[in-house]
Structure formats: C-alpha cells, structure tokens
Amino acid sequence: MLGDEWSRINNPLNSTSNIPENLTHYLKDYKQAGDGFRISKRDIKQTFHAKDGIKRLIYQESEEDQSRIRKTTRKLVNFLREVVQEDNLGLTGSSLFRAEIEDFSDVDLVVYGSDSYKLMSESLKKGPLSEIHFRTHEEWKEFYKRYDVVASITKEQFARHMVYKYDQFLIGGVPVSVFAVRNRDDMSLYLSYKNSKIEFKDNIELEAIVNDDSESMLLPSFYLVCDSDGDKYYVCNENRAFLFQAQTNNRIVIKGEFGNDLGGNKWIKITPNNNGFILRVDEK
C-alpha cells in the first residue's frame, strides 16, 4: 500500500512534522528527511488492502468515537453498500489508516469493477443524500486554476466536461475522490493494448461516435469509437482528467498519437504529455 520503492508520509501542513500518530505503529525503523519521512519497502512490516478500510470503518470502530470526517465517510459508505456489493468498495489514502486531518483531508473511495462504478454513478445522480454536492461549472473553473490541472484544454472546456462526471464531489463539505479499479471482467481492451506492439508516431484529431465505454472509468481507460467513414479506432487514455469523459453513443472529438497494431487495428493514445484530449462535441 505504501509503494514498491519510496513513499513519503508526513503531515501535509508541515513537511518536517512527526508521522501521524495512527501510522507510527505500522512502521519499523524510519529516519527523518528534510522534506518529510521516507521509508523503503524494507521498513514496511504490514500492508493493507483498500477493502480493509471498509471493514475497519464499519465493523471495528464505534461511530461515537469517530471524527467528523470518519462519520461522514461512514454515512457515504453505508449508502453505497445498499447499491454496490460491499466487497467492491474500499478506502485508501488517509481514510485507510484512520489518519485524516480535519478540514484538510479528503476521502479516497475505491470502487472495484466498471459495473459497480456505473451503479454508484447512477445512484448518486438521483441525489438521495442531501449532503452531497457536485461542483458547479464555476467551481470547476476555480478547481482547474487552483490545482494546475495537466490537460491540453482550456479552463472553460475542463469545467464543461467535469460537470458530467461523478468521480469527485463533496459530502457534508468533505471532498471525495473515487478511484475505479479493474476486476476480471474489465480486462478486454486493456489486454488487447498491453499485448499489442503499437508504434505511435503521428498526431491525429478526429470526430467519432463512442461504441464501447465499458473501460472508460479505469486507468488507463479505453474507448472503442467509430468515425463517419465507419472506421473503428481503439482509444487508450492515460490522463485522469479524461476518465469516464464520454459514454456510449456520445459524439466526441479526440486528439492524440496514432498507431496501428500488428493486426491492423487503429489506436489513438492520449497522455498528459502529448497534448491529447477527449471532448464531447457539445463541449468543444
């Protein structure tokens, strides 16, 4: 959970502060560096799965003893357990270790499987919890500026496409980020890409219709699209800004690097470094 090589664990408000109290007993020997504490995998004596965070939150803690953030997280998880199998939910980051900092930390929610992610999104769209707030168009414009979003689109374009998405919201004033993780049923396009030898060398921009969005919320995300001539393209996106950017039957504009695999299939690759993007036509 803490990384294969080096991970930085510290109070984000003070880069030379002590490790949060709830973490110290999980670590063996550590030493303080100028920019925080650094540990190698030799220093890790126990690791945790994101699913452990749900078990600890719901079954091993008394709600009366939980902080405001923990109580808010518990309320969200209890709602989602009604629509998504509990085994397909997890918590990571500070939420996993019960090391949240009041009025600073967010909730990092993990959802396993594209089907579970879509169930979650559809349920949140219906607005069953009055405390949930999805950022407005103007709020997303401020978010873009404040967080220095790495995407080759304008602040206005970013804000217009983010209001369609459900992987970032607030509940009771606490920010929530949702991370979708592949399961066995979400490997088709990913394995096709991983097992193909593709040389990306040309830039391309085209308008197309989304035929398959089943792996669009995962990272890397994939779409199968079709242009006006009936040509099919597989789109591989490695930029989190464009996760779940479009759904089946949406018309989109894609910009990225073009290549063919050995079977003649056409691919477009989008990364934070190649100025690529995916935009719905009504957002262009």
Asked if residue 110 lies in contact with residue 50, where contact means CB atoms within 8 angstroms, the answer is yes
Q: How far apart are CA 247 and CA 269, in angstroms?
A: 18
Instruction: Name 110's bridge partners.
Output: 90, 179
Instruction: Name 175's bridge partners.
Output: 170
Nearest to 6 by CA among 58, 59, 48, 42: 42
Least-confidence region, from 31-40, 74-83, 203-212, 272-281: 31-40
Asked if residue 54 lies in contact with residue 77, where contact means CB atoms within 8 angstroms, the answer is yes
Cα distances (Å, whole numbers) of residue 113 to 184, 197, 218, 219, 234: 8, 26, 9, 12, 20
Structure letter (DSSP) for residue 136: P
| CA dihedral (272, 276, 282, 284) positive or negative | positive
Structure letter (DSSP) for residue 219: S
Six-digit token pair at 67? 């902080």
Is the bond preceding residue 175 a cis peptide, omega within 30 degrees?
no
Q: How far apart are CA 119 and CA 264, in angstroms?
A: 35
Nearest 5°: phi and psi at 153?
-130, 160
Q: Would you say residue 17 has pLDDT above 50? A: no
- In this prediction, residue 36 has a pLDDT band, given cuts at 50, 70 and 90, of low
Q: How far apart are CA 120 and CA 86, in angstroms?
A: 12
Q: Would you say residue 11 has pLDDT above 60? A: no
pLDDT of the residue at 18: 44
pLDDT of the residue at 8: 38
pLDDT of the residue at 116: 95
